[in-house]
Amino acid sequence: MQNPSILIGIGNPLLQDDRAGIEVVERIQRLNLPVDVEIMHCVGFEVLDKVLGYEQAFVVDACMLGHEHGALLEVGVEDIFTRAGLSASHAVTLGATLKTGMVIFPEDMPRDLRIFLIQAKTVEDFSPDLSPEVERGVSRAVERIAALLT
């Protein structure tokens, strides 16, 4: 049976802070909350396939937007679809994908769609461990999402 909510974590599990979205999903999954979870290593129309039919969707990804390392940003589809500053991250493709879903499948898209971006310190170093700053951002994201699910 499908839960009313889905959590999608996006990232590369081999690159230090780029794995932030994946880490959030893994931690939420261990809390046994009423949410379906997906881990994605790239962004494309597959994201759209994952959110269709859910009432609520959370998408978590690392970003490089010049904020303080580990900062947690909660943005909407319009924010990531239109802000030029997001063009260097996964967010442009993510925004375009979700915006397309809202136009083509308005009744099937989640009514509550929240996007969480965690400012990475580095996305170029191979490491299974997050930087301490991003670790704190991941913890804040887990707390925020868990609160929204309970």
Each residue's pLDDT tens digit, 114-146? 999 999 998 888 988 999 999 999 999 999 999
Fold designation for 5-149:
Rossmann fold (3.40.50)
- Contact (CB, 8 A) for 72 and 118: yes
Render pLDDT for 35-86 as a digit per residue (tens, 0 to 9).
999 999 987 788 888 999 999 999 999 998 889 999 999 988 777 655 444 4
| Element of type H or E holding 40 | strand 36-40
* Angle in degrees, CA 94, 69, 24, rounded to 5: 55
Amino acid found at 17: D
8: tokens are: 């999608």
| Residue 106, C-beta contacts closer than 8 angstroms, at least 6 positions apart | none
Residue 23 CA from chain centroid, whole number = 10
CA-based torsion, 62, 96, 46, 112: positive or negative: positive
User: Residue 28's closest CA among 47, 9, 10?
Assistant: 9
Tell me the pTM: 0.87
